Amino acid sequence: MKFLVVISVAMLAMASADVSEHQPVIVKQSQDISPDGSYSYSYETDNGISHSESGNPVVTDVRSAPVVVTQGQYQYTSPDGTPIKVTYVADHNGFQPQGEHIPVVSPLIQRALEYIRSHPPQSDQPNL
């Protein structure tokens, strides 16, 4: 009998824990899709998460299909309470996020990388 009471209490505790967990609710949402391929959307939840994005087709090469250039931002609060905000662009150069929490490459490393790019290895030099 005690075993049945313990199991019942445990099941009741699990059920009340499921009810107490708050599922985020979308409080604001919009979207627009145009015939030319451009679009935009945004949403915001009651727990502070938000995201907005827009994109436009851009012809980069007349021999290929247009590339959609996208820009947007999202924000949320991390588990430790830090507000996180990211802005980004995504285009033919890839996904390019920016945010205070994203590490930045030091100017010395950037200069070294630029030097390597501008001085490619010569094919007549022996491999070391």
CA–CA separation, 7 and 88 (whole Å):
50
Q: Which of 15-19, 54-58, 61-65 has the lowest mean pLDDT?
A: 15-19
| Average pLDDT over every residue of 4-8 | 43
Would the pLDDT of 2 be above 80?
no
Contacts of residue 52, defined as CB under 8 A and 6 or more positions apart, other chains included, come to 40, 41, 42, 43, 72, 73, 74
Place 122 in a pLDDT band, splitting at 50, 70 and 90: confident
pTM as predicted: 0.64
